Amino acid sequence: MPALNPYLHFNGNAEEVFNFYKSVFGGDFMVVQRYKDAPPSEHISGAEANWIMHIALPIGPSVLMASDRPASFGGVNMGDSFFISINADSEGETKRIYDALSAGGKVHMPLDKTFWGSYFGMFSDKYGIQWMVNYDYKK
């Protein structure tokens, strides 16, 4: 079965965002590459040269990846057309992840038991990334 690994783009704060995610999920980065480490390019210079070209954080069997998108590449408009969905192994883990990631963000649906048999909540984190956190009760 193929793996689905979300890839996000940021406007120069990917390192900050991923250090936050690392504080929530734990683990170590698989890779951290900066634009300045790539072969010379006329497109990347100044402060953008220190931006993240590629970063990867394993979360369970998946990998969350990202990069900063320099202005010469078109920049980033943070959208509302996607969510990253996390299925936790327990109510406690669901609450821990929800509370940590939603701190400073905007709650769209408070974490609660649902009519469809899950413990579920939705929010945007303080960086504008939208999340769904879910625990399915045993039936």
Domain over 7-72 is classified CATH 3.30.720.100: yes
Q: Is the pLDDT at 21 greater than 90, yes or no?
A: yes
The CATH code belonging to domain 84-136 is 3.10.180.10
pLDDT digits 0-9 by tens, 47-93: 899 999 999 999 999 999 999 988 877 777 776 668 899 999 999 99
Amino acid 43: pLDDT? 65
Write down the pTM of the prediction: 0.83
Rounded to whole angstroms, the Cα distance separating 125 from 122 reads: 10
pLDDT digits 0-9 by tens, 92-129: 999 999 999 999 999 999 999 998 999 999 999 999 99
Q: Is the pLDDT at 1 greater than 70, yes or no?
A: no
**Domain boundary assignment for the chain:** 7-72, 84-136
Rounded to whole angstroms, the Cα distance separating 77 from 79 reads: 6
